[in-house]
Copies of this chain bind each other. A is one copy, B any other.
């Protein structure tokens, strides 16, 4: 039997997704940035749904940065440009695809290790727990983009069953450990001499480090990953808004 498959779509068609798709189409077909969308009440009538459904659709589009609301005035098309990265959970391959690159990898090391204090702390497991460690050089269009170290408890993925030629996330999903939620920590670092060579930049160059602790839909901690991106090739770009808060 060829190829492990992830679950097909028993997914129900959500009404607010239909409305959102319709609005997306409307925007790309006939609206320019800062143009007004039809009012929520108009959209209710157009799609034959309740107002809450319309608002759920607009909320999703706003989250994507495609539209924004002005109270008392209307909903308007945003001015998203290229190279946007809303803070959503994506795999490296998806991220590169979104940025217009072709992703590839070179596996540098795969090993069975015992969790040190840092890894154990992030994954909430006892120090010394057996883990699978994978170190990969990540490429975008054949050029070095990042170095990624991933640590997973052996109970999640054993090293023997790991297939290096397949997406790690797909393998996790296939075994019921889909990474659904993660906490990310982003900071700037100076590269070590070894990492500088791998990324083909001068020693001591700045780099963007993203640490991620990923958990499954059920809340189980699945992976700890540290990814170090070339500073000259990688950035985050997103929209922030002012909210009436706060404590």
- Seen from chain A, the residues whose Cβ lies within 8 Å of a Cβ on chain B are 11, 14, 17, 21, 24, 34, 52, 65, 68, 70-71, 73, 76, 79-80, 87-89, 178-190, 204-208, 217-219, 229, 231, 234-247
Contact = CB atoms under 8 A, between A and B. Distances in A.
A186 B219 contact: no
A155 B189 CA distance: 39
13 contacts: A14-B244, A80-B183, A88-B241, A182-B240, A184-B237, A186-B236, A186-B237, A187-B208, A187-B231, A188-B208, A188-B231, A189-B206, A206-B207
A217 B70 contact: yes
Given A185-B235, A231-B188, A88 B240 contact: yes
Given A68-B181, A240-B181, A189 B188 contact: yes
A207 B190 CA distance: 9
A235 B79 CA distance: 26
A246 B21 CA distance: 9
B235 A182 contact: no
Contacts of A234: 187
Given A70-B218, A181-B68, A219-B76, A186 B235 contact: yes
A32 to B, nearest CB: 12
Contact of A87 (B89, B178, B240): B240
Given A88-B241, A89-B242, A236 B185 contact: yes
A68 to B, nearest CB: 6
B218 A190 contact: no
A34 to B, nearest CB: 5
Given A68-B181, A188-B208, A246-B17, A89 B236 contact: no
